[in-house]
Amino acid sequence: MTATGTAVRFDLPRFVSVRRAYGPSFSPRGDRIAFVSDMTGVPQIYAVSPRGGWPEQLTFTTERVGLVAFSPTDERMVVGGDIGGDERVQLSIVSPHGESTVAITTDLTAMNTFGDWSPDGRFVAYASNARDPRHFDIFVHDVASGVAREALRGDGAYAVEAWSPDGSCLIVSLSHGTMENDLYELEIASGSRRHLTPRSGPARFESVAYARDGRFVYLLSDRDSENLTVSRLDLASLELTTIVDIGWDIESIALSADGGSLAYLANVDGFSEIYVRDLTRRRDRQIPLPAGVVARGFVGNWRDGLRWSPDGGTLAFSFTSARDTQNVWLAEVATGRVWPLTNATQAGIPSEQLSSTRLVSYSTFDERKIPAFLYVPDGARPDGKRPAIVLIHGGPESQIRPGFDPVVQYFVHRGFVVLTPNVRGSTGYGKTYCHLDDVERRMDAVADARAAVAWLASEGWAARDRIAAMGQSYGGFMVLACLATGPDVWAAGVDLYGIANFVSFLENTHPFRRHLREAEYGSLAHHRDVLERISPLNHVQRIVAPLLAIHGEKDPRVPIGETEQIVAALQARGVPAEFVRLPDEGHGIVKQANRLVVYPAIADFLERYLRA
């Protein structure tokens, strides 16, 4: 507000200048918290006292750093980052104040996923596909000597989940797809492994933490449930016992250092809730949070959920709401008090001038209810005149949540309505809902997105002929499929690094990802006809709405050829198709300089085609 009480209008560069802080890690004494922030425009590592203060920058690269994990015994940290968004994460050990960096991995063609420090701080476990891009091997790196030893030669997508209290074993995960994996206990000295998770059908086993005595592990699993539950696995009998089942997904767990308290993070209709269970008394207490999301990062496979302080008195986590950017927050467990530790800039934009969100649902073609979050300009009435954007998430095994999105807020600030549906295939609503779009049923999800247009118009939130589809990655495919199947439905589309042809996508995506994605989309060997049928490129003659496409040249997930194909085909037919190429980005728009190119281009495009 101005001095006279008038609301200030902010331009897009101001919104794109909003920063984030996330991914906290406590030092072994608990007197420092390291975290990731993009305050310089590129994500780097910082550290700050739990009492607050000005953070100390610890890394100084021109490329993003995506994870940090303190040693359990000293002030050194494992950090991981890639180049140009290529997701070939390289791991290093950084000294306590950033004075020196020692590489753990050096093959820039390989992908490496951090696992864990050993309990004595002498070793670092990680997975790498340096030997064969299709498979991840497990390595144990000796910090003192700098030598890494292969502990397991992998035959698939292995990752490290946890290190046993005595340091002799690792729990490793073998992924068969986003929604299916197995756990093994790997004896480091011998290399022998034992299967821990017998099952009769697809199931997930995640967020593993050894009990202090090493006889069992706590984990999340949906083996016997629609949703992820907190469970305990007896390592001798392999009996899996459910401890907490709330009817919604539990997303993350964290065991206190003394083994007496288990914190868990629940996803209730998209909103986050934190609970702490006293394992002795078997009692749970909730840590009150504002309406929002405990955000989780994944760069380098590091799980950014809840982190205990060494003394067990405090939890650290990354939190965001629809109106407030992502920051590291702390929770005092004894009192339930929560507060932001970091103060990532919101670029001078007051939270009260931003849009809150409301949880809504609408009916689709089969009368199923589709959950969605609706953002409307302050004071807007459903008069049927506004332009609107249907923002479709990637994945598809993912969920759009009510966290801060500067681009959404900008468009609402400019008078647009934004609807973010969780169409069938989304996570967070149970296994059945998640599998409703598998293989032959892919286009049912597209119909769910089309139903969003009808709902916006019927409720009066948007003009029927002024609604655009926008999405990234799989959401980009959804945009293209929406335009191809509903040429009279959509006024425009914005495709950020989406899939245009599932056959060429599977042929050209990174080798280790191919079979993981085939589990969702169908395989080249058995479902080629389905893949051809659902590919928007094969229906390009039906697309008439203008398209803006954006893609990074270093994208390892969805190769840039996907966008090149669809843009060329549309331009050959005379359909307006604009293309923004980013030479130094991968699967996402990370660098501030590129964000200042991409998002103004989106704004200009949608203003031209939805305001006319």
pLDDT above 80 (res 512): no
Inside any domain, residue 347: no
- Of 340, 374, 395, the residue at which a domain comes to its end is 340
What domain range includes position 152?
18-340
Are 112 and 25 found together in one domain?
Answer: yes
pLDDT above 80 (res 154): yes
Please state, in angstroms and as integers, the Cα–Cα distance from residue 236 to each residue in 111, 185, 190, 422, 526, following that order: 34, 11, 19, 40, 39
Inside any domain, residue 144: yes
pLDDT confidence of residue 5: 53
Q: Which two tokens stand for residue 415?
A: 């008078």
Are 378 and 326 found together in one domain?
Answer: no
CB atoms within 10 A of CB 358: 12
pLDDT confidence of residue 569: 98
pLDDT above 70 (res 268): yes
Inside any domain, residue 346: no
Are 177 and 60 found together in one domain?
Answer: yes
Stronger pLDDT, 245 or 224, i.e. the higher one? 245
pLDDT confidence of residue 6: 57
For 350-365, write each residue's pLDDT tens digit: 999 999 999 999 999 9
Stronger pLDDT, 302 or 343, i.e. the higher one? 343
Are 448 and 379 found together in one domain?
Answer: yes
Short-list 211, 246, 248, 245, CA closest to 231? 245
Are 216 and 157 found together in one domain?
Answer: yes
pLDDT above 60 (res 458): yes
- What is the C-alpha to C-alpha distance for residues 248 and 429, in angstroms, rounded to an integer? 7
Residues in the chain: 612
Mean pLDDT of 22-30: 97
Amino acid at 579: F
- Collect all residues with Cβ–Cβ distance below 8 Å to 203 and sequence separation of at least 6: 180, 181, 197, 221, 222, 223
Mean pLDDT of 477-497: 97
Are 401 and 336 found together in one domain?
Answer: no
Q: DSSP state, 157? A: E
Please state, in angstroms and as integers, the Cα–Cα distance from residue 418 to each residue in 356, 414, 491, following that order: 11, 11, 14
- What is the C-alpha to C-alpha distance for residues 471 and 259, in angstroms, rounded to an integer? 42
Sign of CA dihedral 437, 198, 264, 278: positive
Inside any domain, residue 1: no
- Give yes or no for a contact between 421 and 449, defined as CB atoms under 8 angstroms apart: yes
Are 100 and 155 found together in one domain?
Answer: yes
| Number of separate domains in the chain | 2
- Give yes or no for a contact between 69 and 23, defined as CB atoms under 8 angstroms apart: no
- What is the C-alpha to C-alpha distance for residues 509 and 499, in angstroms, rounded to an integer? 11
pLDDT confidence of residue 465: 96
For 441-452, write each residue's pLDDT tens digit: 999 999 999 999
pLDDT confidence of residue 303: 56
Residue 146's region, left for phi above 0, alpha for psi from -120 to 50, else beta, is: left
For 417-432, write each residue's pLDDT tens digit: 999 999 999 999 999 9
Helix, strand, coil percentages, rounded to 5, for the chain: 20, 35, 45
Mean pLDDT of 61-74: 94
Inside any domain, residue 520: yes
- What is the C-alpha to C-alpha distance for residues 59 and 46, in angstroms, rounded to an integer? 7
Segment 514-522 long-range contacts (CB within 8 Å, at least 24 positions apart): 514/134, 516/157, 516/175, 516/176, 516/177, 516/178, 519/176, 519/177, 519/178, 519/179, 519/180, 520/177, 520/178, 520/179, 520/396, 520/397, 520/438, 520/439, 521/439, 521/442, 522/439, 522/440
- What is the C-alpha to C-alpha distance for residues 251 and 216, in angstroms, rounded to an integer? 20
Are 281 and 320 found together in one domain?
Answer: yes
- What is the C-alpha to C-alpha distance for residues 199 and 390, in angstroms, rounded to an integer? 39
Are 310 and 391 found together in one domain?
Answer: no
- What is the C-alpha to C-alpha distance for residues 169 and 187, in angstroms, rounded to an integer? 5
Are 507 and 601 found together in one domain?
Answer: yes
For 276-329, write each residue's pLDDT tens digit: 999 999 999 999 999 999 986 544 344 568 999 999 999 999 999 999 999 999
pLDDT above 80 (res 548): yes
Are 61 and 152 found together in one domain?
Answer: yes
Are 249 and 384 found together in one domain?
Answer: no
pLDDT confidence of residue 470: 98
Short-list 224, 186, 187, 234, CA closest to 204? 224
Please state, in angstroms and as integers, the Cα–Cα distance from residue 310 to each residue in 8, 32, 232, 250, 421, following that order: 45, 11, 23, 23, 40
pLDDT confidence of residue 515: 76
- Give yes or no for a contact between 507 and 559, defined as CB atoms under 8 angstroms apart: no
Whole-number percent of the chain with pLDDT over 90:
87
pLDDT confidence of residue 592: 87
Mean pLDDT of 554-569: 95
Inside any domain, residue 6: no
Sign of CA dihedral 449, 450, 454, 456: positive
- What is the C-alpha to C-alpha distance for residues 91 and 547, in angstroms, rounded to an integer? 39
- What is the C-alpha to C-alpha distance for residues 106 and 89, in angstroms, rounded to an integer? 10
Q: To which residue do tokens 């969920």 refer?
A: 399
Mean pLDDT of 575-595: 93
Short-list 166, 118, 162, CA closest to 140? 118
Residue 301's region, left for phi above 0, alpha for psi from -120 to 50, else beta, is: left
pLDDT confidence of residue 475: 96
Q: Which two tokens stand for residue 86?
A: 């290529």
Sign of CA dihedral 95, 100, 104, 110: positive
Measured distance between the N- and C-terminal CA atoms of the chain, rounded to whole angstroms: 30
pLDDT above 60 (res 29): yes
Inside any domain, residue 79: yes
612 pLDDT tier (thresholds 50, 70, 90): low
pLDDT confidence of residue 305: 85
Inside any domain, residue 348: no
Short-list 440, 469, 452, CA closest to 534? 440
CATH at residue 583: 3.40.50.1820
CATH at residue 235: 2.130.10.120
pLDDT above 60 (res 97): yes
pLDDT above 50 (res 133): yes
pLDDT confidence of residue 297: 57
